[in-house]
Each structure stands twice: as C-alpha cells, then as structure tokens.
Amino acid sequence: MAKEKQFVKEITDMTVDFPQWYTDVVLKTELVDYGPVKGTMVIRPYGYAIWENIQAELNRRFKALGVKNAYFPMFIPESYLKREAEHVEGFAPEVAVVTHAGGEKLTENLVVRPTSETIICEMFSKWMQSYRDLPILMNQWCNVVRWEKTTRPFLRTSEFLWQEGHTVHSNEEEAMEETLKMLEVYKDFAENALAIPVFVGRKSEKEKFAGAVATFGMEAMMLDGKSLQSGTTHYLGQNFAKAFNMKFLDKDGVLKYAYSTSWGVSTRLIGALIMAHGDQRGLVLPPVVAPIQVIVIPIAAHKGGVMEKAEELVSTLNAAGIRAELDAREESAGWKFNEWEMKGVPVRIEVGPRDIENGQMFVARRDTHEKAAYNLGDAQAVKALLDDIQKNMLEKSRALRDSKVVWAESLEEIVKGVDGNFVKAPWCGCRECEDKVKEAASATTRVMADDSVEGKKCAICGKEAKTAVFFARAY
Amino acid sequence: MAKEKQFVKEITDMTVDFPQWYTDVVLKTELVDYGPVKGTMVIRPYGYAIWENIQAELNRRFKALGVKNAYFPMFIPESYLKREAEHVEGFAPEVAVVTHAGGEKLTENLVVRPTSETIICEMFSKWMQSYRDLPILMNQWCNVVRWEKTTRPFLRTSEFLWQEGHTVHSNEEEAMEETLKMLEVYKDFAENALAIPVFVGRKSEKEKFAGAVATFGMEAMMLDGKSLQSGTTHYLGQNFAKAFNMKFLDKDGVLKYAYSTSWGVSTRLIGALIMAHGDQRGLVLPPVVAPIQVIVIPIAAHKGGVMEKAEELVSTLNAAGIRAELDAREESAGWKFNEWEMKGVPVRIEVGPRDIENGQMFVARRDTHEKAAYNLGDAQAVKALLDDIQKNMLEKSRALRDSKVVWAESLEEIVKGVDGNFVKAPWCGCRECEDKVKEAASATTRVMADDSVEGKKCAICGKEAKTAVFFARAY
C-alpha cells in the first residue's frame, strides 16, 4: 500500500513532456480514469466535485439573468439533424447512432445528441405563439456524445458533460446582445471562479459552429503556450428558426421567424484548470472551485488533545463557510503534505502540540508555497487568505499569459511566434491565409482581437488587413 | 392568448378519470411535455426546478453518510450486460443499442445504460486492492434509458433522470446494513421532503431487481389507492463482484470477493408528488421541494406604492431564505389566483392598498385553502406557515392512506380489497400465489409487511403463512 502510494507521486517533469505531465496529473490525483469504451472517461469524485462547484458558480450567474434550467431528451430523430444544412455537415460525421431498441429495429435511427439545437428548437416552436412568450431563456446540464478519433480526458472525449443554453428572441439586436452578454458571463466566470484570464472575440468563418451566423469564443492560454477553447456563444440568426418553424405573432400582427442563440461550456474546463495552474508537484486549484479549500493535518496526532483541536478547527472553518477537511489517516505528516500538494488543495494547516500550546496554527499556501503562523482557529484570516490566493492565481496567470503574446506581421514571424505563444497578427480575413498558417505552423485562428489594423497589411498575403486575430496551436 | 390561458385551466375531474386528470395536470402546469421520440419527455423548467430541489435534499443526506458523487460513461459494452445472468435477462429486452458511431459500424455494440452496476463494478474492481480501500460509497446523477412499450410522463418513460448509488463492502453484514440504511434515508426523504408516507420492506423474488440477492422498496399510495414504487435499494451479495472480479486483499491476507449494493430514485418521484397531493384545482406542492414557495400578488397594482411594497416583500422573504416570487404580469388578480393554485404554490400573499394602509398582508395556504391576515413583511410567520403546511400535508396523506389499508385472509377479500386500497394479507411466499392474485385482481405484491402471521394461513393457497405482504395495483 505504502509502496503504491509512493509510486503515484511520480509525475513527469512538465518542462520535459507536458502532455505526459497532464496525463500523470489527471490520473494520479484521481480526477478521472479511462472508461472501458474507447474515448470515454470516468469522472471520479475529486474531479466531479470540481464540476459541481463549476455548476454552482454558473447556475448562480445564469439564474441572475433569468435563465431557467430544463431537460430535453438525449435521442434526436436522425432527420432533425438534416434540417439545417451546415449543422448536419458539421455533426453527422461524429454522432453515435441508435438503430435498435426494445429488441427491435427502429423505424427511424436516433442520434445521441452531440448538441441540442435541433430538438430544443422543435420544442420551442411548439411553446411560442406570440411576442409575449419571448424571450425564452433556457439551459440544460447534460451529457453529449461526439465520436472523436483522438481523445484525452476532459479535453476531448466521446462523451462529456456540459451546459447548453438556448434562447429565442423576437429580433436580431436582442439575440446578438444575448450572445455577447453570455460571452461576458463566461469571461467573468473564467477569470473570477477559475482564475484563468481569457481572450474573448469572434471566431472566423472556418472556426464557427456548424449552423451559426456568428460564433464567439473564449480562449485560455495553457502553461505550454497553447490555447484551449474554453467556451463558445453562438448567434444563430434565423437559421434554426427557419429549419424548425420557430415563428411568433409579433406586436404588429405579423407572423415572424424568431432569432436564436446557444452557448456552452463543458468538463473541458477541468482540463483548463489543470493546464493553466498546475506545477511540478501537481494540481494547483483556485479556492472558488476547489473541492477541499483547506486540509487540516494533525502533527504528532497521537499526543493528547491534538486530534481534538484539529477536529475543532475543521468545525470552526466549516461553520465559517470554508470547505475544510481533516486528514486523520495513519500516514506520516510528510506523506500527507505531498499528497495534498499534488491534489492542489489551496491551503494546508498544520496543528501540533506546540502550536496548541502557543495558540497558533501553521498555514501553508499552495500557490506560492509561503508559510506563516496564524492564531489558532482564526477562520476570518483563513478566508482572507483564500481570497488572496484566488486573486493571486489570476494575476500570476495573467502576467504569464501577457508575456507570451507576440505581434507578427509576416508568416515567418507567425511560425516563429506560435512556438509557445499566442500570436496576434493583422489579417485580411480570408480562409486561404488561415489554411496557410495551419500548414506552416500547425496553428489556427482563435478569436479576433480588437487591436487597430489601420494601414496594416495581412501578415500572410499582404493584402489590406481587416482585423487583428489571434493565431495559436490549440487543444 | 387570453383565450388559450383560459383553456389550460380545464382539468378533468379527478373523481371521473384519474389518469386523464394526471395528464392534464402535468401538461397544463408545464411540468413536462412529450418529446419527439415516442416515450420520451421534456422536463420543463417548472418540473426541473422540483427535480433540482429533490437533488439538493438527497445530496445533503448522501453527503452526511460519506457518499460521494461521480460520473460514469453512459455507453456500456454489450458483453458487460451478459456477465451477470439474471441481470441480462432482466434488462436486455429494454435496452437501446448503439451500433454505429463516427460514421462506422462498431466492432462491439454499445448499450445505453439502463442502470450502471456493470460498468461501475468494472471500474471499482480496478480501484480496489485492499480492505483499506473499502467501503466505496459512490452515487451518480444521470440519465438512463429503458425502452418501454407503454409510457407516461414521469411514471414510465424511455429516458429518465435518476440517481444511482453504488457501494462496495468487505463483508455481508455491512453491505446489508448499507442496503437497509439507504432504505431509511429514502423513507425519511419521502416523508419529510415530499410529505409522502411510504411503506418500506423487502420485495418478493418475482419483483426483485435483476441480479440482486434481495431488493427492498418503498411504496407510496396515490390518491386512487394504487401504489407507486418510489425507490428501491438492492443487496447484491457477491453476484456482481463475481461477474466483474471485484476482489480485495482482506486483513487476513486472503483475496476475497467483495459485497455490493445499489439504490436509486428517479424523476418518477415528481409523478408521486402529483398523484399523492393533487386536487381538483391541480398541483399541491410541499414547501420543501416547491420551486416557488410563496407567490406575491399585488392587488390594484396600478395604485401608487403597491408594486413597490410587493417587491419589498419579496426581497424580505427571499432574504429570510424563502423562495418567493412576484407576479407582476398584467392579468387580473383572479386569473393569477387560479393560475398559481393550479401550479400548487404552497402560499399566496396578496398585497393591496388597504392592506398596506393597515400594515397587513393577506395570506392563503394552498393545502387547506385557509386565509388569514398577517403583519406585512412578517417573514418568520410565513416560514412557520410553510413548516405547518409541510407537516399538515404529510399528516393528511398519512391519514388518508391508513384509512385505505385493508386486511384480507382470502383471495376473494384481496380481489375486493384492492379496488382503491392496499391489501395486507398473510402469504406463503410462493410465486404461484402471486400469479393468482395478479390474474384475479391485477394486483402484485409490493413489499413485505411486518405484521405477525403466527398461526395464519396464506390467503391464497391456505398453506402456512410465512409473512404478511402488501398487495396493490401499481403504476
């Protein structure tokens, strides 16, 4: 047992092999395991607890905006997918298909939802009659399936968990406003809950959602300088309204097609947390979403009163709204320090006989490895420390990221730049130039940047630049 | 619009056609709608909010017992199902099968989980080595699929939502203890959160879960005297341990098969709420799980200060932890009264100009239709009222149920009794007698009762009785 536990601490050096470091960390911290079917994952309790905290943070934000949760069926008639031309082209190649059920061949095949615009728009069209029924603002938390060739826990799996918001509006302006509002909600959530700074902006035609008029994304830089698309919002115009007959009687008595949006984030965000904040010792979790915010470790636990004081401390912290736990296992303190550091718990508190005598506790923060003595049981000071860690993690990530954004004005500079960085470059906006960068640098456009390109030429073709854009290698 | 809203109030008389009353209520209160694929349902926001409250109540109870949430893949290799003989026999006829994915035929078909013992035991067997790793106590909230011929929203649908707990133990006693403990958790939850009294007990061999050694159920009586199986816990013995090689090294150095349990409740519970508490006007929801506990309706809302006072009241109630909402729509007060009565909101508060003058508010409770004047803004009194409603609903249900349990000592008495009642009868325990009752009365054994049958004969065959058992028609 002890031997095995020793083994799980061997995490590959992240500077040597970052992908292997990632795999080691997700498996050894017991966030996730591989499922028996290729490309699937089991989200273990420690990983799922992060997801539950993510859900709580997002639900709070959605609810404040009047968005209501609901649940739509997972099985979609195959014919629905085909009603929106771009949508079927984008998703048909990766769906899982149910052909038999209840011992019989089905008359129509069912696809397992890769996303739910089709079935949700079908239902919305039933529920909306007049402009008074609009806007409809709904969200669902569910599993989706996209059959992928190359998979990796959290980042890309055949089945994953996500939320998908779907809204319907009576006019274009309001739908576009919603699309951008939800992008801001995601940004606020990424920065303030996950402590991950993100770039948000419009996606290129090539990178947009199949069936959208416009897609907006948020891109997070991982420690290796690659980008992780961490959330997207889509302005769908009337595309799905026309395909699913989403009409309403407007104030002027005219029957009109509505405008819709959709937006989602997934369990991918757990991958983002790992690769944006981790270090050589393993995970570093921001307090807002950490399953355990404070781990209390008794020192010389066999000595009279130590365990009691440690338990009392945990109760005090819990009562103050802190997710604190006691590690009362019969292992050495040093072994426990390593274990909880690997698991990324933001704060470790040690309580030993001498500390108790002095009315103190020893507090170590995971992000900076700093240690300090606090008054024993001072929950408010621990709360302040957690806030400080949350803030510090965002600032540190932002400083690192900002140091890795370079400006390029030629294909050569782009190729050189994307090795470990995000590259911002002026761009003419055409697909050919995107493809050239993809070929030369294995990098894609991520989102448009709002830097001025007045008088600038496209870094690739030299024609007039229409926008600045981020190029990066992406997960 | 107005016309349509009028229409939705027409609910069939429950004394004339109870099943149609149910259908009217679930659709017209917008709890649920039919999905496009036969047998599927869309859980609309009002229904889903009940589910979220159910989840919160259960998660709190599970967590207190050390059960952790996780997520396992939905796709199970078809071969897994076959490893436990009874299990495959029970579930194979109702599974949905994925044969193609990613544009290709799969080498092995995948079944969409009808329940997850197989895949979870497979993973547990990977994670457990020694007795120190036990017990494992996990739960997942997810969708499951069971292809049913006859379906009804919430009660029986092709896809539904549920929680499934799965635990592994080093010995028989502990596993059985867990099985019974979770049955008590369910009972406590049903009675104190749903205000539904339940009978709990062991199921017959015929009615047990496919693959279990013993199944325990909780049965709730609906207003028509029929039973709704509302939750089950299963003692699985070593059946799944042997099929999935769940072995552990025990303290004595011997490698042993473990003992496992599973237990679940589903969105069926929403159906139970409707049919246990509803009345001619529609839903009656117990405060603990009601999406809206208090609806505030401004009277003569156009008059100065009314809307402001109503808003202030909602804020006061929210701050006190009450789920209160304001109905500020431009409809008549009478129309709103009907609407919220139909939707089963436990408490309605009216605030009009005269009330404000007198520092009062008019409070109506949904369960008894009693009305009273309260001091305006007295949140504590409203809280006490909600508690009283919760208590009263359970008591009322219990009194009604207890009046509809009859004792029978012959087949004739059983046949006569099950029309609108639960029948308790002494039983020899054999399958033939169960089948006879099924044929004669369309009733099944629900759970064993603990009444003494000393000296009694089986009501059906006249042989020595081994136990008392509940017979009832069931949903």
Domains of chain A: 2-277 (3.30.930.10), 294-385 (3.40.50.800), 405-472 (3.30.110.30)
Tokens of B118: 């197989």
d(CA A124, nearest CA chain B) in Å: 11
Which residues, numbered 310 to 329 in chain A, qualify as contacts with chain B under a Cβ-Cβ cut-off of 8 Å? none
Task: Give the model confidence (pLDDT) of B277-304 as tens digits.
Answer: 999 999 999 999 999 999 999 999 888 8
Opening angle at CA A108, ends A105 and A113, nearest 5? 110
List Cβ neighbours of A365 (8 Å cut-off, separation of 6 or more). Answer: A346, A347, A371, A385, A389
Q: What is the pLDDT of residue A9?
A: 57
d(CA B72, nearest CA chain A) in Å: 5
> Inter-chain contact A94–B102, Cβ cutoff 8 Å?
yes
Any B CB within 8 A of A244 CB: no
Alpha-carbon span B422 to B158, nearest angstrom: 28
Task: Give the model confidence (pLDDT) of B406-457 as tens digits.
Answer: 999 999 999 999 999 999 999 999 999 999 999 999 999 999 999 999 999 9
d(CA A242, nearest CA chain B) in Å: 18
Range B60-70 average pLDDT: 98
Residues of chain A with pLDDT under 50: 1-8
Q: Kindly tell me if the per-residue pLDDT of B2 is higher than 90.
A: no
Task: Give the model confidence (pLDDT) of A320-358 as tens digits.
Answer: 999 999 999 999 999 999 999 999 999 999 999 999 999
Q: Mutate which of B53, B65, B74, B331 to test chain A, going by most A C-beta atoms within 10 A?
A: B74
> Inter-chain contact A43–B143, Cβ cutoff 8 Å?
no
Alpha-carbon span B330 to B352, nearest angstrom: 15
Question: Is B247 within 8 Å of B125 (Cβ atoms)?
Answer: yes
Q: Kindly tell me if the per-residue pLDDT of B5 is higher than 80.
A: no
Mean of all residue pLDDT scores within chain B: 96
- Nearest CB neighbour to B97, from listed A37, A101, A148: A101
Q: Kindly tell me if the per-residue pLDDT of B360 is higher than 90.
A: yes
Q: What is the pLDDT of residue A232?
A: 98
Range B340-363 average pLDDT: 96
- Nearest CB neighbour to B1, from listed A41, A99, A130: A130
Task: Give the model confidence (pLDDT) of A170-185 as tens digits.
Answer: 999 999 999 999 999 9
Chain A hits for B36, Cβ within 8 Å: 73, 76-77, 80, 119, 122
Name which of A206, A200, A257 is nearest A231 in CA terms: A200
Name which of A335, A327, A323, A322 is nearest A310 in CA terms: A327
Helices and strands per DSSP (H, E), number in chain B: 15, 23
Question: Is A367 within 8 Å of A344 (Cβ atoms)?
Answer: no
Q: Kindly tell me if the per-residue pLDDT of B3 is higher than 60.
A: no
Chain A hits for B92, Cβ within 8 Å: 103
Range B162-177 average pLDDT: 98
Q: Is the confidence metric ipTM above 0.90 for this complex?
A: yes
d(CA A450, nearest CA chain B) in Å: 37
Q: Kindly tell me if the per-residue pLDDT of B17 is higher than 80.
A: yes
Alpha-carbon span B425 to B471, nearest angstrom: 7
Q: What is the pLDDT of residue B304?
A: 85
